[in-house]
A and B are shown apart, each in its own frame.
Chain A
Amino acid sequence: MNSIAYPIQMDLTPIFGIACLVLLAGIGIVFYFFIGKSEELRDLKSAYEKIMRSFHELDEQAKLIVKTDLELNKAQEELDRRLKGLGTLQKLARNMRTSLDENEAFQRISPELMTELGFSRTLAAISTEHGILLSKTVISFNQKQAEDALRELEKKPDILNVLKKGQIFSSLSSPHQIRTTITNLFETEHFILAPLLTQKGLIGFILTGNRYNAPAVTEGDEELIGILASQLAQTIENAQLFEQVYRSTQMLETKVNERTKELSLALKEVETISQKKSEFISAVSHELRTPLTSIKGYASILMTGKIGDIPEAVKERLGKINLHSDNLVKLINDLLDIARIESGRVEMKTALHSIKPMLNNIADLLTPQLSTKDLILRIQVQADAPDIEFDTSQVERVFINLISNAIKFTLPGGIITLNAIPQWDKNILLCEVADTGIGIKKEDVARVFDEFYRVDNQINMTVKGTGLGLALAKNIVEAHDGRIWVSSELGVGTTFHFTLPFKHINKELPNPS
């Protein structure tokens, strides 16, 4: 049987359409999701980029922080170095300041302290008057190397002239050529060369630094070494001044000693002469007094007429011999007293006395003379005047001498006043003999106490005197540790003042020296 196969005829179009629709929907959905995701991705990418940007910005800020921090660290390090340097410099300065010796000042720059400042090599030198440089501090240089460098430097006026102006050279700031010259001279790569300047000018220099492979010097180092150099120069100047002052003092002392020696010798000579003079006067006076006594004795005998009558004219002459003999005896006695007091042979016999009774006695004694000239004598002893220690006979002589002078130079009707005033603050009794006499010329005031000095006036021309009374009074007052002086006004009057100490009176007479 033949079979006929009939293909099944199906219409696939709708299925295809549906499939296409599904596919399109799928694509649409995928496309929708894809668009959505890609937006998300875009957002994510943008966020990532933003984060990365921030990250980089933060890193850039970190770089800035690091840069600042590094600078801060460097600043701190420099500050630390400077502080340490200043501390060391202070130690160095203190060490140097305590020295008044130039060499010692240089020795105080020790290797330890220079190492603390950061320098292993130091050479300090001082210049002589002839411009030769002498090494004084040598650290890490051998002596020959130092001397060679100094000799070479002496031949470098360009460097020395700049140093004279106070300029510092350093491996940090000096021009290349100079830097190389100094480096080669001192075999020191990192260096500071500072002048030692005083008021005299350049007196030397200090070079310090490190050889090679060492940290470079800084501005701070320059400043520190500059200060050190000026401190050192100051110390040297002080040491030199001290040396000068010391030498001057020594010279002065030597001169003073020499002069003192000369003066002592001269004084000794004067003393010897004075002693001889006193001895001479004493001897001559003694020798004169004996024959005078005989002359006076014989004249007296003749005048009595026991040997025979003598004519009136002879008697008159004999009277004159007697009078002149008395004057001569008084002169000789005064001379003898002065000589004795000066030579220390008279001892003041001091005892406690009241001044007033003594003055009254003197007044009684001198009443005839006062009456003759119609003079008034006033005694004014202050009520609280104490008893004081003095040699009554000697002080009496002082008063008699002074009052006699007052009588002599006061015109009739005048007043003579004796004052005794205690001065408790000075522990003295001030005695005064004041007159209303003719007064003394200014030029004579200073000399009235000189031996044999007689003021040139009308009265002295007519009235004879020895010129020894005031000299004797002065000697006696001074033997009592007192002082005598005069004040006078011509035509108004004269006052003699002298003092007697209350308590202490030298029993022994002072040595004239």
Chain B
Amino acid sequence: MVKSQTNLTHHDLILVTATPAYTAPANPHTISGLDQLHKILNPERLIGMTTPVIILKDEIHLKGVAVLAISSDEIGIGIAAQQTISLLPLQETGIRFARDLASRMSASERHGAIIFCNNIGINHSLLIRGLQEGLGRAFNIAGAINPDGMFCQNQLFTDSLGGIIFGGQTSFFSSIRHGWQPLGKPRIIDDCDSNLIRSIDGKPAVSIYQDYFPDSFVGAKSVQLTGNLGDIGLLYPLGLNTSRPKDYIIKNPTAVLPDGSLVCQGEIARGTEVHLMIGDKDACRRSAHDAAVDIRDKLHGKHPRLVFIFISIARKKLFGRSFWQEIAQIKDILGIACPIFGMYTYGEIGATAASDLQIHNASILVIAIG
């Protein structure tokens, strides 16, 4: 289908995204599918990641495979990938990976990079720190974190880091927003370690959820409570206060340890004020609107050539059947005539006005290639 649309014999980049059923490592069709893609589209580079939901310009798919082909004399593209990241020192891995990615084009040409990571349980802050060291703190970096597989050329990776660097006669802008609202009294994280929150207000971190959702913890003693918080963690994330008033970085706890500690994505600082957050659909819709307006402003009226949308799976949970509304809103604002390629994610990498590059949860990230 892509071949019939582009009618080209060669492509600079093929970006693939697929729902997990199509990319299970045991599925023999995954690799043969990648081989087929190589045979038909003859790409110089192929990269991609699994997603629970595929976002395209006019369609949203809960099951399937999506392929984006890029061929341009103006846009410079480079890709890199690193496997088994959890076994390596993360910050150094980030630095090495960033340098590898940067080496694909000269410093003057580079505009931004999209990073994919398919391990949700590691301390991504270290990776990001490494990436910033390798690419420069002012460099535009955005990305997504999802479990399951990652495609690189004709291989399927797990526990890996991948990325695309964009450069040449183009521009790269990203904007990330969330729209969740604080609820109840503020609490203080008084004991934490890296991406682990041990205690809040002198009690095991999980107590914040036990206080608000006593029914969900009936029959489970906090010391025995392990696993994840399921839907509660997605729908009621933690909001970490930033230096700006009423500005929060959202974290979905990914796991609860036996001692009641909460595992998050990205580092958390001791003494940070934390709130339980609640999803307000209007505010979330407004945040998607704001992200799109921010991109439009950054483009200074130019039409983007390509738009990527990464949306947290928590927002799909929040919006239920009307989850497409956010995407429709972005399309309305950016007046999309260009392709849209996106996915639902378990973590979004982006920088806000108030904070440095971070791992966000429950957020919407819009990237425009101008």
Given the known A-B contacts A77-B320, A83-B321, are A59 and B185 also in contact in the complex, defined by CB atoms under 8 Å? yes
Does A459 touch B at the CB level, under 8 Å? no
Contact B184 A70 (CB under 8 A): no
Contact with A along B298-342 (1 / 0, CB 8 A): 000000000000000000011011000000000000000000000
Residues of A within 8 A of B318 (CB): 73
Q: For the complex, give the distance between the alpha carbons of A69 and B212 in Å.
A: 11
Given the known A-B contacts A63-B211, A66-B212, A84-B321, are A58 and B184 also in contact in the complex, defined by CB atoms under 8 Å? yes
Does A44 touch B at the CB level, under 8 Å? no
Contact A62 B184 (CB under 8 A): yes
Interface centre among A63, A65, A67 (most CB of B within 10 A): A63
Contact with A along B189-229 (1 / 0, CB 8 A): 00000000000000000000001110100000000000000
Does A55 touch B at the CB level, under 8 Å? yes
Given the known A-B contacts A58-B185, A62-B184, A66-B236, are A76 and B320 also in contact in the complex, defined by CB atoms under 8 Å? yes
Contact A62 B183 (CB under 8 A): yes
Residues of A within 8 A of B185 (CB): 55-56, 58-59, 62
Q: For the complex, give the distance between the alpha carbons of A443 and B278 in Å.
A: 100
* Chain B nearest CB, measured from A111 CB (Å): 12
Does A80 touch B at the CB level, under 8 Å? yes
* Chain B binding surface SS class: helix
Contact A70 B235 (CB under 8 A): yes
Does B276 touch A at the CB level, under 8 Å? yes
Which of chain A's residues has its CB closest to B184's CB?
A62
Residues of A within 8 A of B231 (CB): 73
Contact A63 B321 (CB under 8 A): no
Number of A-B contacts (CB under 8 A): 43
Contact A59 B184 (CB under 8 A): yes
Q: For the complex, give the distance between the alpha carbons of A70 and B212 in Å.
A: 10
Contact with B along A48-63 (1 / 0, CB 8 A): 0000000110110011
Among B183, B211, B213, B317, contact of A65 (Cβ-Cβ < 8 Å): B183
Interface centre among A58, A63, A66, A67 (most CB of B within 10 A): A66
* Chain B nearest CB, measured from A116 CB (Å): 9
Which of chain A's residues has its CB closest to B183's CB?
A62
Contact B212 A62 (CB under 8 A): yes
* Chain A nearest CB, measured from B218 CB (Å): 14
Which of chain A's residues has its CB closest to B209's CB?
A66
Among B215, B235, B321, contact of A73 (Cβ-Cβ < 8 Å): B235
Q: For the complex, give the distance between the alpha carbons of A59 and B184 in Å.
A: 4
Q: For the complex, give the distance between the alpha carbons of A70 and B320 in Å.
A: 13
* Chain A binding surface SS class: helix
Q: For the complex, give the distance between the alpha carbons of A84 and B322 in Å.
A: 12
In chain B, residues 80-133, which have Cβ atoms closer than 8 Å to a Cβ of chain A?
none
In chain A, residues 344-367, which have Cβ atoms closer than 8 Å to a Cβ of chain B?
none
Q: For the complex, give the distance between the alpha carbons of A76 and B235 in Å.
A: 13
Residues of B within 8 A of A55 (CB): 185
* Chain B nearest CB, measured from A82 CB (Å): 11
Q: For the complex, give the distance between the alpha carbons of A70 and B317 in Å.
A: 12
Given the known A-B contacts A55-B185, A58-B184, are A66 and B278 also in contact in the complex, defined by CB atoms under 8 Å? yes
Residues of B within 8 A of A66 (CB): 183-184, 212-213, 236, 276, 278
Which of chain B's residues has its CB closest to A83's CB?
B321
* Chain B nearest CB, measured from A305 CB (Å): 120
* Chain A nearest CB, measured from B52 CB (Å): 15
Which of chain A's residues has its CB closest to B323's CB?
A80
Which of chain A's residues has its CB closest to B278's CB?
A69
Which of chain B's residues has its CB closest to A60's CB?
B184
Q: For the complex, give the distance between the alpha carbons of A332 and B336 in Å.
A: 104
Residues of B within 8 A of A80 (CB): 320-321
* Chain A nearest CB, measured from B234 CB (Å): 10
Which of chain A's residues has its CB closest to B186's CB?
A55
Residues of A within 8 A of B183 (CB): 62, 65-66
In chain A, residues 84-139, which have Cβ atoms closer than 8 Å to a Cβ of chain B?
84
Q: For the complex, give the distance between the alpha carbons of A63 and B320 in Å.
A: 23
* Chain B nearest CB, measured from A483 CB (Å): 73
Which of chain B's residues has its CB closest to A112's CB?
B63
Interface centre among A56, A62, A65 (most CB of B within 10 A): A62
Contact B321 A65 (CB under 8 A): no
Residues of B within 8 A of A58 (CB): 184-185
Residues of B within 8 A of A70 (CB): 213, 232, 235-236
Contact B320 A65 (CB under 8 A): no
Which of chain B's residues has its CB closest to A66's CB?
B212
* Chain A nearest CB, measured from B44 CB (Å): 36
Residues of B within 8 A of A77 (CB): 320
Contact A63 B212 (CB under 8 A): yes
Residues of A within 8 A of B211 (CB): 63
Contact A63 B184 (CB under 8 A): yes
Residues of A within 8 A of B213 (CB): 66-67, 70
Residues of B within 8 A of A59 (CB): 184-185
Residues of B within 8 A of A67 (CB): 212-213, 215
Residues of A within 8 A of B215 (CB): 67
* Chain A nearest CB, measured from B157 CB (Å): 26
Residues of A within 8 A of B276 (CB): 62, 66
Contact with A along B20-49 (1 / 0, CB 8 A): 000000000000000000000000000000
Q: For the complex, give the distance between the alpha carbons of A207 and B92 in Å.
A: 54
Residues of B within 8 A of A83 (CB): 321
Q: For the complex, give the distance between the alpha carbons of A420 and B242 in Å.
A: 115
Residues of B within 8 A of A69 (CB): 235, 278
Q: For the complex, give the distance between the alpha carbons of A283 and B184 in Å.
A: 123
Residues of B within 8 A of A79 (CB): 320
Residues of B within 8 A of A63 (CB): 184, 211-212
* Chain A nearest CB, measured from B229 CB (Å): 12
* Chain B nearest CB, measured from A215 CB (Å): 11
Q: For the complex, give the distance between the alpha carbons of A70 and B232 in Å.
A: 8
- Excluding A62-B183, A66-B276, A67-B213, 17 further A-B contacts by CB distance (< 8 Å) are A55-B185, A59-B185, A62-B212, A63-B184, A66-B183, A66-B213, A66-B236, A67-B215, A69-B278, A70-B213, A70-B232, A73-B235, A73-B317, A73-B318, A77-B320, A79-B320, A80-B321
Can you spell out 24 A-B residue pairs with CB atoms less than 8 angstroms apart? A58-B184, A59-B185, A62-B183, A62-B184, A62-B185, A66-B183, A66-B212, A66-B213, A66-B236, A66-B278, A69-B235, A70-B232, A70-B235, A70-B236, A73-B231, A73-B235, A73-B317, A73-B318, A76-B320, A77-B320, A80-B320, A80-B321, A83-B321, A84-B321
5 interchain residue pairs of minimum CB distance: A62-B184, A80-B320, A59-B185, A59-B184, A80-B321
